[in-house]
Amino acid sequence: IGVVLGANIGTTVTGWLVSLLGFKVKVSLFALPAISIGFFTKFTKNERVSAWGEVLLGFGLLFFGLAMMQLALKTPENLAMVKGWMSTIHATGPMTRMWGVLLGAAVTMVIQSSSAAMAITLILAFQGVLDFDTGVALILGQNIGTTITANLAAIGANKAAVRTARAHMLFNLIGVVIVLLTWPLWIWGIDAILGGGKHNPASLPVHLSAFHTAFNLVNTIIFLPFVGLLARVATKMVPESKKAHTEDLEYLHYIDYSLVPTPELAILAARQDLGMMAETVMEMLDDVKVLSTESTVPHGDLVSKVLRLEQKTDKMAQGIVDYLAMVSRSPLTYEVSHEIAAMMHTVSDYERMGDHCEQLTKLLRRKHEKEYKFSDEAHGELDELITRVREFVAYTRKHLLTHEDILKKAYPMEEGINQLSKSLRKKNIERMTSNQCLVEGGLIFLNMITSLEKIGDHNVNISEEISGVR
């Protein structure tokens, strides 16, 4: 909501640019060169130059459109037609002001841009088609229309996006009502501050730009102490189901959809939730280690807990991937886009690690149900392998929020797990062939080694992502 309040003030800059430059210089002189330069620089490989090219292209198109509209209104027939039509909504009383507000909202919804609607209003004012009061009514409508467009765009989006759109609508709608109730004060105040001239078409664009800025600035000052209240009202307007709300609190602690427009911060939040996934996998490995002891009853609460944790990692993975997918729809630099792709692979790796922990638990449950026994030697070997895998996952988790090169230690850790797994397989086969253990129990042991080794493989993938290799 704070970003929305600031954005409302920021959008008034367009009006000032049009008012101060659009009518005092021949904009076509620099509009076409700006479009040409902006178009070609937009496609350069340098991200910063490309971004500035896009800005230049946008301003060039804005002022070129402004020049075209001015040219069209210079035709007497067109000017007379527009004047005759606009005279029907001359904002002299409450009802005509409301018609002006509705027209401003409708035009903004149709053209999908409050900045373009504002530019049209300023051109009509400069040509003498609008008076100050009617222009103010149209601007108020544009502020409502832009929120309706945002609410339509939020259909099908996440709850946070819809709530933000609702809060924006409430903010602007209440502000418009305040202006309508105190109309004479605003008209007199703006004219007094600018030293009169509200009846002079040449000075009207500046008057309207000043009103637009004052409206959003005063509205923001009024609402700043009530941002929390506005958020609560928006939440009540778009309620979360109890189950979904509980799951969000339980599984995703850091992801915040209000950060989506700022990809760098959004990625940091997602990485923190990735850390929570890693800790969940570590907890599952701890439980598997306990379950592997003969004294444990594997069909008890601990098995149910591991299975619940596996479902938790699935839901966390889905939530993080959905979040990153939404972030990826924003304009991104190559580096950020590459990092998002790598993170999605990391999410998949953690999710697969959770699956292998589930498989380990089911193997131990089967061992218990069939009353298969592991020798003391086998128990010691399994305990050592689980410990090494768990330490490897913990090491990677420790560096998850960094971009340090951890491969000098990660590769030897993974190689150690692979060598130990190879050795344990050989020893287990020897026990099976010498009848020191049942074949069925030995097969469960071999499958557990395979699952633990795969967890190590997925974890080295994550180490490579942290180090920037993937």
| C-alpha to C-alpha distance for 23 and 83, rounded to whole angstroms | 19
Q: How many CB atoms lie within 10 A of CB 327?
A: 25
One-letter amino acid at 258 equals S
- Residue 1: what pLDDT? 73
- Residue 244: what pLDDT? 46
- Residue 25: what pLDDT? 60
- Residue 81: what pLDDT? 62
- The closest alpha carbon to 122, from 205, 225, 60, 38, belongs to 205
Q: pTM for the full model?
A: 0.51
- Residue 249: what pLDDT? 40
Let me know: does 251 contact 316? Beta carbons within 8 Å: yes
| Predicted confidence pLDDT, tens digits, the chain (470 residues) | 777 888 888 888 878 887 877 666 666 667 778 888 888 887 776 667 777 888 888 878 877 777 776 666 666 665 566 666 665 666 778 888 898 899 889 988 887 778 778 888 888 888 888 888 988 999 999 999 888 877 776 665 557 677 888 888 998 999 999 999 999 999 899 988 988 778 888 888 899 999 999 999 999 998 888 888 888 888 888 775 544 444 444 678 888 877 888 888 889 889 999 999 999 999 999 999 998 886 555 557 888 899 999 999 999 998 999 889 888 887 888 888 888 999 999 999 999 999 999 999 999 988 888 888 888 888 899 999 999 999 999 999 999 887 788 899 999 999 999 999 999 999 988 888 888 888 888 889 999 999 999 999 999 999 998 888 76
Q: Where are the domains of the chain?
A: 2-239, 249-467
- Residue 256: what pLDDT? 82
* Sign of the Cα pseudo-torsion (319, 325, 330, 335, in order): positive
Which residue stretches of 74-113 are H helix?
76-86, 94-111
| CATH code for the structural domain at 249-467 | 1.20.58.220
Annotate 141-185 with DSSP letters as a single string: HHHHHHHHHHHHHTTTS-HHHHHHHHHHHHHHHHHHHHHHHTHHH
One-letter amino acid at 133 equals D
Let me know: does 392 contact 459? Beta carbons within 8 Å: yes
Q: How many CB atoms lie within 10 A of CB 419?
A: 10
Burial environment of residue 179 by CB neighbours within 10 A (0 to 12, 13 to 18, 19 or more): buried
Annotate 316-380 with DSSP letters as a single string: HHHHHHHHHHHHTTS---HHHHHHHHHHHHHHHHHHHHHHHHHHHHHHHHHHHHTT----HHHHH
- Residue 182: what pLDDT? 93
Helices 94-111, 114-126: crossing angle, 10 deg rounding = 130
- Residue 350: what pLDDT? 95
CB proximity list for 17: less than 8 A, separation 6 or greater = 59, 62
